[in-house]
Structure 1
Amino acid sequence: MIMGNVGRVFSFQISPRLFVGSLILFIAYIVFSLFIVNSHLQLRWVSNQDREKYSRLEDENAANKKILNRSKQQITLLEEYIRQIEEGAEGFGIGRKEQVRSNGEKTPLEAVLPEKVTKAPEVVDVTDMVIQKEGSGMSITLKIVNIQAGEGPVGGYIHLIASDKKSVPPKEWPYPQEKIEKSMPVNYRKGQIFLIQKFKQIRARLNLGTPSESPSSLKVLVYDQSGEIILEKEMDITQAS
């Protein structure tokens, strides 16, 4: 009903079909809008999930590349060590000082004399040392740790030399059991080979000969592959003995 400005009233009637049709269209619009909004939210959620998965895959890929590069470096070092072992002192000793035989002839360098060894900056350290003496034997367990800046692996040769400085002359027991002179290994390549990313546990056993022997100190010597000392540490083990 509509009232005019002169007091006349106009009335009209809406068709039920038109009303029902309009209502149906309105309801359909609401349902369609809800469907569109719900689909948008679902697509947004899926997109966020995919983005997170992609980010994780990128992180995993970067980590895998890092591991692969480390593995390549380790393989390179291992191949170098194997080559040195197979070739002995030849090849690698070119350009380095040679040991002179007693008859005056020079030999390919398979030994680095103690007085000729140079020292490099320390890139490793030893921790968690445990020493146990059992009869005529002594077992030593320690960790050699990579302390160099960066994340690259480090490799070389490790020697352990136990000594009794109270005896005359001083007695020494090397590990591995190789020739030593002036408390230093004659051939540093005869040491136990190691290649570490973070750390490695070293186990050694010394044969002291008799149960009465009692070393008073232990020297740890670590060489790099070129023969430079990268760690030299001597510890008092009197109480451990």
Structure 2
Amino acid sequence: MPGLTALVLAGTRPGGDPLAEYAGVSHKALIAIGGSTMIERVVAALAAAPEVGRILVAIDSPQRLEGLAGLLPASCGKPLATLPTADGPSATVAAALAREGAPLLVTTADHALLQPEWIHEFLAACPADADVVAALAGRAAVEAAAPGTRRTWLRFADGDFSGCNLFLLARPQAAGAVALWRELEAARKEPLRLMQRLGWSFALRYRFGRLSSTAAVARLGAMAGNARVALVAMRDGRAAIDVDKPADLDLVRALVSTG
């Protein structure tokens, strides 16, 4: 799908991001890895992907990006613009989808290892009839790529997976999935409310490892206005490694330095 618009979430948390403070920068996206900032690395990967025609960076302080060589037209090579963040990642994606329409490729500024080959692999594997698609990587692939790394695992009956911060909002019906994301994001600190919304049977099947990934996406799709939700398993486990904490930063810097 040539000419695809890609959205990069690069905002910071209200009150600041602990990892940004640890690294001595205002935004996590500005942390340097391998001689360039994370946002420049992500933009370079998107710009090198033939499917991507235009890049949007969602950031609350666009002036922070001024002077970054990798974002200048001569370096990026594809149209790049900024847009304001909303109240949280899901709200930002909802606003971008409403403004830009589908299809929309979404990733994050802390996906510092992102490769254009992964973007191609992901998009090529997206089912043609899906409304929204998420990339995951299996535990075996992740641990082979980075032994000892600590990730957040989705524990399904058919295996453990980690999210890859790569999504395709393929059709307008994806708005229902984003609305559900906003709802679940708002309830993330209220476990009982969250379980009630998901359904006790669904939540308990997941809790005890009896829920398959197929059943999970079917349930979430039904909750999202009958949106067709699909998952794509990435071959390279590094696709699941983002930068959320100091240990992640050390790991990614080590992986970049060794090629």
TM range (shorter): under 0.3
State the TM-score, normalized to the length of structure 2. Answer: 0.22
State the TM-score, normalized to the length of structure 1. Answer: 0.23
Structure with more strand by fraction:
1
